[in-house]
A = this chain, B = another copy of it.
Amino acid sequence: MTFPVVGMVGGGQLARMTHEAGIPLGLKFKLLSDTPQDSAAQVVGDVVIGDYRDLETLRAFARGCDVITFDHEHVPYEHLRALEADGIPVRPGPEALVHAQDKGVMREKLTEIGAPCPRHRIVSDPADAAAFAEEVGGFPVILKTVRGGYDGKGVWFVRTPEDAEAPFKAGVAVLAEERVDFVRELAANIVRSPHGQAVAYPVVESQQVDGVCDTVIAPAPGLSDELAGQAQELALRIAKELGVVGHLAVELFETRDGRILVNELAMRPHNSGHWTQDGAVTSQFANHVRAVLDLPLGDPRPRAPWTVMCNVLGGDFPDMYSAYLHCMARDPQLKIHMYGKDVKPGRKVGHVNTYGDDLDDVLERARHAAGYLRGTITE
């Protein structure tokens, strides 16, 4: 076998950073992107512009690729099956991906394998949602469209029967979940290869603001070895049972009574793993690529006692470059990762990583830089 061609479907920042991680491996990287302006399309040499929802586009793209992987989970299941039938390795495959595409399927499977979940069931209308609320001790409850949600979209925090009407308007099945009394959110990230090798990254704490990931701390401060081990084992078991290949992020709630419950799954490099670019021996992106090519996986251990990632969201100032001077001069150890996206208020346009021995210092530096780039901190 000579150096393989990795076909990446989707032109977002995850594809951009996977390309970056693949360059040193000498891989040939081919991108299917919606537009030439997409984050990854700006930096990849071999780009096909096309619609991943069109099977013939996908098929034409896949010819000449040794493996297909993904920047997102939106490629229709039937199309993935068709590519597999054409003989193209699809990693993760459709039988695994469907669990990341459909929250109803995900909950059913997790329950089947005994993975701890919030109480949940599919609800058919607002009255049924109210009945579910009754079953779990009353409002508030969480309603989610089973498909198409991300970053807080497609998720409703429902306090009254009237609130329960909106989720049904999309015409997609609705999953109801109890509101979990959690102390914080965690993420257990692992990478698994087709031949079954797997590595587990340290469990991280993930802090959300308005439903969007804001800060990730690696490892999760004060997490007991026992709970960390449970979370890693759970993620490894989910990956194996669901047949995941590549990076799997298992987003978790840590409950007030010391349990972990699965919140969401993502079968691709994930925001909660961006810290690994500068904080781990092998980044999630490098290990994802190694996994989809069935190469031995790299060491997931941290390189520093603490690593912090803060997302950079768009603010009121469209030009973030001029903030570089201040940020780079203030902190020569700061690691900036920008996605080449136009700034829109609230849009994820980059992230920063910091690492070191003192968590307070590492946190302050990351938050300052992210705030300064966004424009919410001006000195």
Which residues of A come within 8 Å of B, CB atoms?
Answer: 1-4, 16-17, 19-20, 23-26, 28-29, 41-45, 47, 277, 281-282, 290, 295-299, 303, 319-322, 324-325, 328-329, 332-340, 350
A332 to B324, CA, bound (A): 34
Q: A4 vs B24: C-alpha distance in the bound complex, in angstroms?
A: 24
A43, A44, A334: residue with the most chain B Cβ atoms closer than 10 Å:
A43
Chain B residues whose CB sits within 8 angstroms of the CB of A29 once the complex forms: 43
Contact A338 B26 (CB under 8 A): yes
Query: Complex Cα distance A336/B295, Å?
Result: 13
Contact B290 A1 (CB under 8 A): no
Which B residues are in CB contact (< 8 Å) with A41?
45
**A320–B25 alpha-carbon span in the complex (Å):** 11
- Asked whether B321 lies within 8 Å of A2 as measured between CB atoms, the reply is yes
Complex Cα spacing A147 to B45, Å = 33
A41 to B20, alpha carbons, bound, how many Å? Answer: 14
15 residue pairs A–B, Cβ–Cβ below 8 Å: A1-B322, A4-B321, A17-B24, A19-B23, A25-B338, A26-B336, A42-B45, A45-B47, A281-B332, A282-B333, A295-B324, A296-B332, A297-B328, A297-B332, A298-B334
Among B4, B28, B43, B335, point to the contact of A45 (Cβ < 8 A). B43
What is the copy number of this chain in the assembly? 2
Q: How far is the CB of A71 from chain B (nearest CB, A)?
A: 15
C-alpha spacing A345/B332, complex, angstroms: 41
Query: Given A24-B20, A25-B338, does the pair A321, B1 have CB atoms closer than 8 Å?
Result: yes
Whether B333 pairs with A298 at a CB distance below 8 angstroms is yes
Choice from B23, B282, B303, B325 contacting A332 with Cβ under 8 Å: B282
B45 & A337 in contact (Cβ 8 Å cutoff):
no
CB distance from A373 to the nearest CB of B (A): 10
Whether the pair A319, B44 counts as a contact (CB closer than 8 A) is: no
Q: Is the CB of B328 within 8 A of A296?
A: yes
For residue A34, give the distance in angstroms from its CB to the closest CB of chain B.
Answer: 15
Residues of B within 8 A of A350 (CB): 26
Closest CB of chain B to A255's CB: distance in Å? Answer: 34
Residue ID in chain B nearest A26 by CB atoms:
B338
- Min C-beta distance of A192 to chain B, whole Å: 15
Chain B residues positioned under 8 Å from A322 (CB to CB): 1
**B residues less than 8 Å from A340 (CB atoms):** 3, 26, 28
Checking B43, B45, B296, B303 against A23 with a beta-carbon cut-off of 8 angstroms, the contacting residue is B43
